[in-house]
Structure 1
Amino acid sequence: VMVTVSDNQAKSGDGGAIYHNSNQNLVLKNSTVAYNSGGNLNNALGALQIGNSLVANAAAGADCMGTITSSGYNLDSDGSCALNGEGDIASANPLLLALQDNGGLTLTREPGAGSPAINAGSPSDCPVLDQRYYSRPDRCDIGALESGGMPVQSGSIAFKQPVDMVRESAGVATITLTRSMGSDGPVSVHYQDDPFSVARSGFDFVDFDGVLEWADGEIGDKSFQIQILLDAQSERIEPLKIVLGNPGGGVAIGADRTMILNIVEDGIQFGELAFDSASYTVNENGGSLEVTVKRSNGDAGEVSVTYATADKEATAGKDYTAVSGTLRFADGETSKTINIPIMNDSEDESDETFVLQLSNVTGGAVEGAYNSAVVTIMDDDKTSSGGGTSGDDKADSSGDTTGTTSASSSKGGGGSMHLLLLVLMGSLFVRRRCADESA
């Protein structure tokens, strides 16, 4: 279905493109067979049926040899196919252009301007796409290629979750694929287990392979199931690798073209992932803060968790550097750290906070108690203040006999020494005055 067979060679009369010698029926649809040496089609035995196909311009020999059955809307260039179905065109030159890259994955021949094959295909049985996965209108061209067809967005198919787990006792695992990035045309993909997986077919799971299909215009998820077998052996974790292949309809296989399903012995625990505290404090001039994520209550298998910061009073880019990413714990690993750069400034401001959040735990682990934490940045720019006047220390003493003295200083403890000195000087002044009066 939907192939171009061109510029091949065979002995005269053997069919340079297709030689059919079998009791099985052969059906050729929406295809172009042209410019083959030794004839194009040779049905030596059995039934060969063609529909909406173009057979033309054999380089040596005839277009058709043997009995050819038509299901309609075919074209041959020399009348040798004895076409007699609805919409068939016999003994007409399709004006094919050279074999070349017209888009798609293989070389093709496009009907040239004025070709009788253009818009002469079946009005009710045209595929949505041509061989290149280009669009076809309701009334398509005869052959594999649509003249004037446009590339379509068939999208891509990938595993929705590249790593997952199932308990041995669960009995069944459901695997989900998703189609995205386009929905043009019907598409399909094949899936199967990798025979080199640690998990063994017939012991840990029932062997499987199959095809999932999406209709034209359909996007989103499709699922299949794998039967899981319970055994008496102590095996902890056995990974099963699942692979995608053979995409059909022009769809691509996405980045997650393989997945690992961990088949886990009952009783094995993957652990809880959480911060080691609900709150952290860091000085503004501390440079950075290191936060620890702990894995507790189990350490089996590979697990992961994503993290990200979010503003509260503190602002990313001004007070701290925003961070985000994924922490991946290996089998048996119980601790990971996150480093957050802290930004210093000269502003006099209140203490400020931001949040660090965990999410998207995978691999069978779960979130622990502290899945979010508040970080407080302590300001280091507080204004210093003290009593007294500014400038040089000042002293004042009265000349009366009471000796009362006052002093003040803006330089902290220095004022006490000055006060003591002034008191002593005042006392000497009083004693000298009394001595003078006595004399």
Structure 2
Amino acid sequence: MKVAIVGGGLAGIAAAHTLLGDADVSEVHLLEAAGGYGGRARTDSKSIPGFAFDMGAQYIQDPTTNPLTEIAKDLRFETVEEDASYELRVDEDGTWKNVATTDPEVLAVVNGIQLSYNAARAQPNVVVAAKPRFDTQVEMFGHATSPYGPFTESAETWQYLAADRAREVAGDGAENLFVKRGVGTLVAAYGQLLPTLYKDRYKARFDTRVSAIAHAGNGITLTLGTSGTLAVDACIVTVPVAVLGSGAIKFEPALPAAYTNALKALRLGSYKKLALKLRTDPAGIVPGTNYYLIEAEPEGVWQCYRLPHAPDVLVGHAAGDFAAALDAMADKDVFDLFKAGIQSAFDGVYFTTGKAITNWSANPNALGAYSYTAFIGGGPQDPGPLKARSDLGVPLGKLHFAGEATNLQCYGTLQAAYFEGVRAANAVLA
């Protein structure tokens, strides 16, 4: 059996390992539009020498159940437990102070969001809450740090379905693991095992964009841009749902309504990350503590921190509508905005020239960060959007779709991509 995999992220890599473990698979062709493995898990180790800047996934979540934990051990990647605390940095009458997540005002906001979530979760097509007005800094902080806020889904609370979130399985409670050389480096190393282990049956083609997939009849034919075609017995497509929804790949015949409707409901939120090399050791920014700063224009919340194993770098995150606004700005303007906010809130913060930044929304191979299921009309009892993940994961003859977006229980994570790649590969082998 000859199989094509479209996409070289973790879902595609896991699918390839699974397929090649079966002797009945004679050839696996992995086709990736970018220049290497990783997908949305990529590490930039060049912009700031000595620092592994994870542009996408940045740690191993739920390490006791996450396959990447064992993969990291097998490949001898050193990991470090995350032991983080969270504080809001606020300016009150000209004096800066920290507000903890346990502050009563913050808890009141979080509890309010929880009540909205509880009321909405039983209905398949209702968002967690209406878009709130951020009247105070504490309200923004409570929203951002709630279990349903933007830093958990890369989409603001009012954009995704409560019922989708309700079926997500709770984590294992263990501390997340940072990978010192970068999660993206780990994923790439796992991909680079494939030609070593299966050199006679495996072929990867990078910088290769699939423009069309013909899936009528018993076989599948892929059009590889200007590089000709590839005929296979089965195909697993692992590219992000935003790329599929954009029409970048033409399917012949067109996908049935269940799949096109799923792609309308499944969106990729915005997530912005940047890193700056510190010239000083600011006492007010304690390594291991996550600080939240309110930005007035564009309105949003910065999350920033120094990693205990890399305290000479300051990392900043933004999500949801705020990140989308930042993505529309020039990189220099984003850096200047972030630095101005940091230097206003903390004393003695100065930077060198080392810096790194992401813009997943503008990346043609991603068009966004992590998936969420959006309200698309049809009334609160319309089951269509809630079925989007499972509908997209149903095999269409010999054509299969897989990725974090098709997972029901831990979507938006690297382990979801791994699990879905394995699921699709096993469906091909069945």
TM-score (norm 2): 0.18
Higher CA-based Rg: 1
Q: Which has the higher strand share?
A: 1
Q: Which has the higher helix share?
A: 2
